[in-house]
Amino acid sequence: MVGPDVVIEKCDLFTGDWVPNPSGPTYTNESCPLIEGHQNCMRNGRPDSGYLHWKWKPRDCQLPRFNAERFLELTRNKAWALIGDSISRNHVQSLLCMLATVERPVEVYHDEQYKSKRWHFASYNFTVSNIWSPFLVKAAVFEDNDGVSTAEVQLHLDKLDKTWTDLYPSLDYMIISTGKWFLKAAIYHENDTEVGCHICPGKNLTELGFVYAYNKTLHYVMDFIANSKHKGLIFFRTSTPDHFENGEWHNGGSCPKTTPAKEGEVEIKDLSRILRNVELEEFEKAAAKAADNGVNLKLLDFTNLLLMRPDGHPGPYRQFQPFAENQTAVVQNDCLHWCLPGPMDFWNDVIMEMVVRG
């Protein structure tokens, strides 16, 4: 006897539409204390709430809602990790908030900068880690928390970042991603030698461009995974689109929309498309090799799912009550990260379905 929430048919979970969801999110900023300030749009005073009442619906099959209790049962005595940049950090908060509807996790580790953290669900002996590794390879970064750089990134394209590779063998499930950091000015190293750069005028280095570095890095990362003999489930997630209009992060870009777009209404930006094409190409190359080696490597391609949600970003509400004192204040907008609760929560529905299917 198959229960009503068991889905047998295979389908493309990543092609679908956002449809009305009157019941809204499974948690709020009041029920979940794990939302970081910049993503806490409700607390920060975002006035509209329509963005909370949509759900992702694949076109050709049912997608069960995320079941936190079942997820925790499936992952009892296991270790999960989300590895990457601040989008991974955004996602770990979403996952923790949804799981916290069953049991509140306890933070058991953080690094000195509070960039990498680990939480434990005691009743299930289950851990979730967020591992900060924005390039996945070894990097020296010179910038503050607002993304203002004082020098080019020093990037070693042939040395994987030990922050994640040292933990890799001990993990049962992981979601690995990278992306936007490769657009930053950087000096590239191979064999401990400077080989070129991206945006380094006056340095007398060859301008190789970010695609060169992204191809090299992802090839190296995928090769490491495909040849690792790892027995867990490894997801590679594509990078996420932003929705800045009339500018970018540092020059007044904003994202004023309050409703989802329909497919085709929003065009992916050139830089996001280039990153995604490299990701898909390197994943395809590695997938066959991984399968031959018994490594369970799967793709999470959330690009189009999020492309249709220009309404899901904090915008000016990345800071607390930005217009409390001045209705026309000029404030920093965030059209890259995602409000919580928000569209990102539906990643967990898709991921759970893929875990159930195995």
Helix (H) or strand (E) holding 299: strand 296-300
Cα–Cα separations (whole angstroms), residue 322 to 41, 87, 89, 319, 333? 11, 23, 23, 6, 10
**Catalytic residue list contains 116:** no
d(CA 247, CA 254): 7
**Catalytic residue list contains 337:** yes
CB 66 within 8 A of CB 98: yes
Report helix, strand or coil for 220: helix
Report helix, strand or coil for 195: strand
Q: Name the pairing type of β-strands 117-121 and 106-110.
A: antiparallel
CB 99 within 8 A of CB 89: no
Report helix, strand or coil for 240: coil
Secondary structure E strands in 5-136: 16-20, 54-58, 79-84, 106-110, 117-121, 126-132
**Catalytic residue list contains 334:** yes
The one catalytic residue in 86, 94, 129, 239 is: 86
Smallest Cα–Cα separation from 41: which of 55, 57, 25?
25
Q: Which residues pair with 137 in a beta bridge?
A: 160
The one catalytic residue in 116, 189, 337, 345 is: 337
The one catalytic residue in 161, 301, 311, 334 is: 334
Catalytically active residues are 86, 334, 337
